Structures are given as structure tokens and as C-alpha cells.
Chain A
Amino acid sequence: MCAVRNKQSRNGRRNRSEWFGVDPVISVGNLWKVFGSNASQVVASDELKSLSRQELMDRTGAVAAVRGVDFDVAPGEMFVVMGLSGSGKSTLVRCLTRLVEPTAGTIMFEGENILEADAKRLRDLRRNKFSMVFQHFGLLPHRTVADNVGYGLEIRGVPRAKRGERSQEVIDLVGLTGYEKSYPDQLSGGMQQRVGLARALAGDPDVLFFDEPFSALDPLIRRDMQSEVIRLHREVGKTMVFITHDLSEALKLGDRILIMRDGQVVQVGTGDELVGAPADDYVRDFVKDVPRSHVLTLKWIMRPPRPDDELDGPELSPETVVREAVRSVLGADKPVKVVRDGELLGVVADEEILGVVAGEV
């Protein structure tokens, strides 16, 4: 409940037009990653590039994990990449920090093409600008929680005392107070991932990357952790790129969601855009089971006022989620007006609301 309301407010704070009003933190252009010894040949040939993954595999033995991906991420945004297993998400997010070396394309980070960074610059970026949280935690089993969290700082040469202080701060922040001296194998999965989170936060990066961080967790714990990330996002206000294969997680967290399929981008948009206007059958199929009343906002279901509508009913914003509007709409005996900045955009009456709710059953 709480989480949904948070998201609601964030959605309310920022709308589409704003994202393009500022310079993006990350800007990815025509990014390719092909695995195989003949990778560079593949991206050099338009013909090969146009083949489907399977055809390419059959012809050259190469695997095109990421194929011509473009997107921008705005500062402070929670950007979610979603797709089925094998669609290339992990490869994509690793390309962004060059843990996997991209085959072709550009990745602009704060105006700098990081594909041109040398080893030292790349290390600097990794130490100071971005950090990552992994699906399988990647904790060091021989170190205590505190030492795991401080590992990134240690690598940067931060003195022990300062390291301890900062570690403690982030340990408190992720709610691990009291576990500083424990070893990873003494913690539950959820707690371990908190350690992973703390480690990523310790270096105070500008951008956090998450690669399916909660997929290995039990559903209840997963929900807690999602709330935790939302809380952190609000508190520290960092840009986050979040990979998931779980649509509900994507909808819950994402300011915007990029849907990937076979290495390609299928659609980018806010949750209600995906549900309200799926780009193709693939996305439609995907979002088919989503409880639409939880995602769609009034702007997706409103209709132009008809002459016989009485236009003196209650007003609601177009960003109001349907579920939240149900009571007002059904309770009113007149259609509800959808209004932004005093301008009437449309109306919503019982039949529109019932259309959405009934479709879910």
C-alpha cells in the first residue's frame, strides 16, 4: 500500500515532458553486444545485423545478446529494464559499466563516452560514479558484513577509520545495524542482498545498477526489499537502472520501463503507457494479466464529454490511478471531470471504471 502511494506521488511529481527537459545521465546509442569470435564482422555487416538472433546463430555461431539498443536515463530516475530470461538484460547492464565489453555503439555518461575510457579512467568511474548490485549478491564469504561493505572504499585506498565510519552509515541506512560482525553465510538471502546494497551505496555513486537483485529471494522478502529500494531512492535520490524479469516489480518500481526481447528494445514508457498503449502483441500479451485498475490512470480511460453529460461533478487529475478513483466515480451520481491546470481533458463515468475493473476478472 505504502509503496504504491510513494510511486503515485513520484509519478505525480515528474511527467514525461520533464525527462526530456534535462540532460540525460546516461545516453545509450545503437549499442551492440555480440558474443563469439567473429563479433566485429557481425556488427560491420548490415545484412548480418538484420538477421534474427536464431538465424545469426545458425549462420555464424555468434550470439547477439544486445542488438542496437537506444535509450536515455534522466537524473534521479528509476529506469527499469524488463524482459524474459535470455533477452539480454544482464548483458546490457554490464555493457553500461563495461564489465562486458560492448561490440559497437556509444554509451555517454555525463557527457563522456565511456567506451573510450582507458583502464584507469574506467576504474575511476567504477570507484566513484557507478556501482552495481547483483542477483547472486557476489559477497566475499571470508569477510564480515562491515568489511564487505567497506570493500569498495578499501580498494580506493580510504583509511580504515574513515572506512569504518562510512560503512556504519550505510549499514544503518539499509537496516543491518547489529550485524556488522556477521559473515555472509550467517545471513538470510534478503539480509545478504542488503549487504550488497550497502556495498553499492558506500562509495556514494551517482548511478546504481541493479541486475535482478531480488529474483533469488522469497516473495515476502522480495516485497520488503522492493519497498526498501523505493525508500532509498527517495532518500538518497540517486539515478537507478534496475533489471528485472518480473513485470509487477517493474511496474511497482519503475518511473519508466524498457521492454526487451531477443536483445532488442520493444517499447519504452511509463507503466500506464505500457498497459494503456502496448506497442505490439508481445507487450500486450505481457501486460494482459496486470490488474489494470492498479496501473492505468484516468487519462487512459477518460472519454470526451458528451453533450448529455452533466459537467458539475467532482474533479480529478488525469494521473489518478483508476483504483483510487473508483470510490469517487461510483459514489458520484454525475461523471467525474478529468482536469489539469483548470483545463477539462475528459470525463470518466461508471461504465469506464467498470470496464477496467471487469476486464481484470
Chain B
Amino acid sequence: MVAVAVPRRQIPRKALIVGGIVLAWLVLWLVFRNVGTLALDASELTPLHRWINSVNDAVGASRNSNPVFLYFFNEIRLVIDEFVTFVQALIAQPSFGRPVPVIGWLGVVAIAGFVSLAVAGWRVALLAVAGFVFLGLQGLWQESMDTLSLTLAAVVIALLFGIPLGIWAGLSDRANRIMTPVLDFMQTMPTFVYLAPLTLFFLIGPASATIATLIYAAPPAIRITAHAIRSVPHNTVEASESLGATRKQTLLKVLLPSARKTIVLGVNQTIMAALSMVTIAALIDAPGLGKTVVKALQTLDVGTAFNAGLAIVVLAIVLDRVTTAATERRSLPRWAFFGGFGVTGVAVYFSYTYLWAAEFPSEVEIGSSIRKGATAVTEWVQDSLPVITNGFKDFVTSVLINPLQALLAESPWFLVALVIVALSFLIGGVRAAVVSAACLGVLVATGLWQDAMITLASTLVATILVMILGVVVGVWMGRSRRADRFIRPILDAGQVMPAFVYLVPILALFSATRFTAIIAAVVFAAPVAIKIIADGIRAVSPATVEASTALGSSSWQTIVKVQLPMARRALTLAANQGLIYVLSMVVVGGLVGAGALGYDVVAGFSQGQLYGKGLAAGVAIVVLGVMLDRLTQAAAKRWTN
């Protein structure tokens, strides 16, 4: 208790300064409103944007003559294309002059079951078999296999590069320092921004889609591998050295095996990231479920989109459970291994030879019921909820979004910049102030200052909502096992269900508004924050909670005075991650009325002459991300120490 009370006592002086700054800002805002806001119309361009356009055009024009293309990009493309096509030929696409893939559904189901059995045990194997059969029943066998092929290809390549890079970053501080910002960049850069140029370099189709997926999916593998290597207990490494091991021996026999569990978690994250990317890659003709979702969206066919989205969720759950379970040590009895191997072999042979095992029977299917059900639910929601939701929307818009946006976007840019740098200094000292100043400088240079401020306002509001949800639901889950068991799978599904699927009903509820974009971001970001907070609450030592209860605290007092303060680290982490996730939805927000940076990126992807502006907007999003990330981390450090 004392520990909680002491930092509180110290805040007021700083709070006074912050209050002073904000007050000064408000006064100056009244005076200088709408002066120097660096506004730019939707179709207006800056010289920088035009310059990027011309570079883009030049690259496109020279692709058949430039040796860099002929001998570098083309080669890469060929290799990746071959690889993806090969995997597709195995399980997804008619190939080698056959009307069906080499391995039909029965074989794939058997392989999935056997691999799961070998690495993850009976229960997960059952889940895998059930999951894959379900995909067939949904009437989406081929689409699912295309998605799986693409995901697997991207994951294999991501790991091929990611794990060695991760090891390097784990061993060398310098490599780590260089890689971290690059990875940040890769992860926060909106995919839309590099989707179009990728097709310039690698043409349309699986290769580009794989590379796009790769860019997004490799960072977790690199990061987590590096982290895993770094967190191998020093004494284990020392023990190995004390026995005279060489560096290589220590790496191969100590570091890698000890880090294996964590590295597998990295693989898991990479697979999840890849899966969440395949919907977006559908925009450049990536085959599979993503395409079904995107196409269904054209006619607002929520049923079909949901059915395909559900297939992605099922794939994600199976892959997640298998890789998670693979971190456990287990050994399969010999007979089960060879028995499973035999059965799988026979199943693969059948699926190669007989039509019934090659093509999923279309007589049994549940896809149409799922589609109808989802459509019915959506229609009900769209018809009956707007009465309530409109009020909520208007309330949040007028109380939170509009004032914040007015303050950020209608103040002169130098005033906002000054305020942000000053606040950064208060939070994180000189370093933070310098980082913020640099980021703000880049924002001005992109020519999209006002759009960036509008996006910033929405981002902050979304993060606030995420944190409110996170604390409420997270505390509930952290305190009740039953709630946890019930809610967690929903959160998992929420994280992998492609955003495109729920955009339509949300649009129906809230129209094309900034608020809709905020809700989409909250839906995407809240699960992460909730999980982190729930885990943080659960990790609070039961002894402390017991002591508090013994002193006669009510549940409320225990939550507010013990559990939340002690879960501070989790709270700050949740805020940080929440922010990053919200930012990664800025572009999707652009599709449903957010305007500003999100729309700039979307329009840049769609219209050639806005390409440069879209890229600049992408950079602006990354820069916002870097700034907010560093600030929240600095704040977290201050607050948790």
C-alpha cells in the first residue's frame, strides 16, 4: 500500500506543469486558430509527392532493361514463384496434367493430423483433423489450401531468413541496434503502401503476395528469436563456457536448444501474422480465402465474407494450437508414430489415386447455412441497433473526437510541435524530446501535417477506448477463471478474423465516419490489451491480494488499490501495444470514413497520381508510431520504477 501511495504524492508538481502547458495551448489555440495548420486538399500534391511519383514511373519504365531487375528481382521472383507454385501444386491447385492437386483432401487431413500428433499430441491432432474437415464442409477446401500454401511458403521463407537474423541480433548488440528500427518500420508500415510497388518489382501474383506477407511476418520471428537467445540464463551459458565449449558449441548445444521453446513461439507469431496478411494480399491477386472475402465485400455479402473469414479463423486456431503445443517436450510411443505414419501414407496414396479422396465431396456442406446465419445476424444488428449506436457515436464524436481534433489539427503546427516536445521532455527527458522533435520534423516534411494530426486525434481516442475496455474486461478475466475461459477464444478469433469481414456491419451501425474507423481499430486492438491486462492481473501475487482481503478491503478496493497498481507494468504494456495495433488499423479506417492519413494511403494505392502522397502518408503513420511508441515506453519506465 505504501508503495502505491508514495508515487502519487510526487505527481502534483509535474501535473501542475502539464496543466500549465495545456492551458497555455488552449489560450494560444483561441488566438491562432486555423493559422499555420499546413492543410492539404485531398487531391493536392507537394513537390515531394510528385518526385516520388516520378521515381515510381521511372522504375516501372525501366524494368525490362535494368540489370538490377533482370538479374536480381527477377531471379528472386522466379525462385519464390517456383516454390509457391510447387506447394500449391501439392495441395491446392490442379497440377502435373491432373485435374486435381497431387495430394487431395484426405491426404492433407491425414498429414495435418499426423504432424499434429507427432509434435502436439492426441488432442491437438483431433482438433487439426476436425478443423481441416470443417474447411471442406464450409465449401472452401481449395481456397483454404491456397491460403495455406501461401502462408506456409511465406512462413518457411520468413523463418529461413528470420531465425539466422534473430540469432545474430541475439548475439550481437550492434546487430540488434541496427535491426530494431528496421523491424519497427517493417511492422508499422501499412501494407497498402508497399503492395503496389511490390508488384512493380515482383509482378502480380503469388510471388508478390508472398513477399508482402513475408515483410509483415518476418519481424516477429527475428525479434522473438533474438529475445530468446538473449534470455537464455547467463549461468547456463557460463557453465558451458566453463567446460571449455567453443562459441559455436555453445550456440548449437546451449543457446539454440534452450531458446527453442521461445523460438517456436516466434514461429507461432509469424504464422499468425502471415495469416492476417493474406486477406490484404488478395488485393494483388493472392489466391485463397482473402480473395473470397474481398470479393464478397464488393456486394456487401457479409454471409460469404464471414464464411471465408471463419475459415481463416479455423486455420489460425489449428496452426496456433499445434505450434503452441509444440513447445512442450513430448515423445510419441513408437507404435503410434509408425501406425500414424502408415495410415497417413495410405490416405495420401488414396487421395492421389481416387477422386473421392481427392476432391472434397460437395454433397455434405454447411457453408450455406453459415452464410445464411451470418447474413441474418448482420441484418438483425443493422436493423435494430442503430437507434442506440447513433447516440453513442454522436456522444463520443462531440465529446472526445471533435475537441481533440480541433486542438491538434487547428492549432498552428509549431504550437502543437512545441507542446509535444515539451511533454516529451517531461515524460522522458532530453532523449524523448529529441526523438519527438525529429519525428515531428519528418511529419512536416511529408506535407501531411494536418492529416497526421487528425489521425493522431483518432488514434488517441481509439487507444483510450481500448484501455477502458482492456481494464474492464481484463480485470474481470484476471479475477475470474470462468470469464477467462469463456472470453479468451472470442478474443483469439477477433484477432485473426479479417477486419474486412466486420467492416460492413460496423458501417451499417455507424455510417462512414471517423468513429466507425475508431471502432474498427478498437475491435482489432482491444483483444491484445485485454489479454495483457488479464495476465497482468492474474500475475499479481495471491498473497498480496489475500493480505488486502484480510484487512477488510472490498473487491473494488482490492482492484483499485492492489491489483491495478501492481499490474502497472501490464497496463503500460497494454497501452503501448494498444497504440501500435490501433495505428496498424489506420489504413483500414481509411476505408470506412477516417479520412486523413488512412484515406491518403488507400487512395495512393488506387490512383497512380496519388501514389507519392500515399507513400508519404505511410511514412507519416510509421513516424507517428515510432513517436508514440517511444513516448509510451518512456512513460512506462518512469511510472513502473
Contacts and interface: CB of A to CB of B under 8 A. Distances in A.
Interface of B: 233, 235-236, 238-246, 249, 253-254, 257-258, 260, 329
A99 B243 CA distance: 10
Interface in A132-146: 132, 134-143
Name the 4 nearest CB pairs between A and B, nearest first.
Answer: A138-B239, A127-B244, A126-B244, A152-B243
A213 to B, nearest CB: 12
Given A99-B238, A139-B236, A183-B329, A152 B244 contact: yes
A131 interface: yes
A137 B242 CA distance: 12
Given A155-B249, A183-B329, A138 B244 contact: no
Contacts of A135: 235
Contacts of A10: none
Contacts of B260: 142
A125 B242 CA distance: 10
Given A134-B235, A136-B235, A137-B235, A142 B258 contact: yes
A124 B244 CA distance: 7
Contacts of A154: 253
Contacts of A203: 243
A156 B238 CA distance: 17
B249 to A, nearest CB: 5
Nearest to A147: B253
B239 A134 contact: yes
Most buried by A among B233, B238, B243, B253: B243
Given A142-B258, A142-B260, A155 B244 contact: yes
A37 to B, nearest CB: 14
A140 B257 contact: yes
Given A140-B236, A141-B258, A151 B242 contact: no
A6 B252 CA distance: 43
A136 B238 CA distance: 11
The range of chain A's interface size is: 20 to 34
Interface string A36-49: 00000000000000
A131 B243 contact: yes
Contacts of A196: 239
A304 to B, nearest CB: 51
B257 A126 contact: no
The prevalent SS among residues of B at the interface is helix
Nearest to B247: A119
A340 interface: no
A199 interface: yes
21 contacts: A94-B238, A123-B244, A125-B244, A126-B242, A126-B244, A127-B244, A131-B242, A131-B243, A137-B235, A137-B239, A140-B240, A141-B258, A142-B257, A142-B260, A142-B329, A151-B243, A151-B253, A152-B243, A155-B243, A155-B249, A199-B243
B250 to A, nearest CB: 9
Query: Which of A125, A151, A154, A199: most chain B CB closer than 10 A?
Result: A151
A97 interface: yes
Contact of B243 (A122, A127, A136, A139): A127
B238 A134 contact: yes
B243 A126 contact: yes
Nearest to A183: B329
A151 B238 contact: no
Which of B242, B246, B258 has the most chain A CB atoms closer than 10 A to its own CB?
Answer: B242
B469 to A, nearest CB: 37
Nearest to A119: B246
Nearest to B236: A138
Interface string A287-306: 00000000000000000000
A132 B242 contact: yes
**Which interface residue of B238, B246, B329 has the most chain A CB atoms within 10 A?**
B238
B235 A138 contact: yes
Centre residue among B233, B239, B260 by max chain A CB count within 10 A: B239
Contact of A155 (B236, B238, B245, B257): B245
Contacts of B236: 138-140
A132 B244 contact: no
B233 A99 contact: no
Contacts of B244: 122-128, 152, 155-156
Contacts of A143: 257
A125 B254 CA distance: 20
B30 to A, nearest CB: 50
Given A141-B258, A142-B258, A97 B242 contact: yes
A221 to B, nearest CB: 19
A264 B236 CA distance: 28
A94 B242 CA distance: 9
Given A99-B242, A138-B239, A155-B246, 18 more contacts: A125-B244, A126-B243, A131-B242, A132-B242, A134-B235, A137-B239, A138-B238, A139-B239, A140-B254, A140-B257, A142-B257, A151-B240, A151-B253, A152-B244, A155-B245, A199-B243, A203-B243, A209-B242
A132 B329 contact: no
A122 B233 CA distance: 23
A151 to B, nearest CB: 7
Contacts of A94: 238
Nearest to A94: B238
Contacts of A141: 258
A87 B307 CA distance: 66
Contacts of A134: 235, 238-239, 242
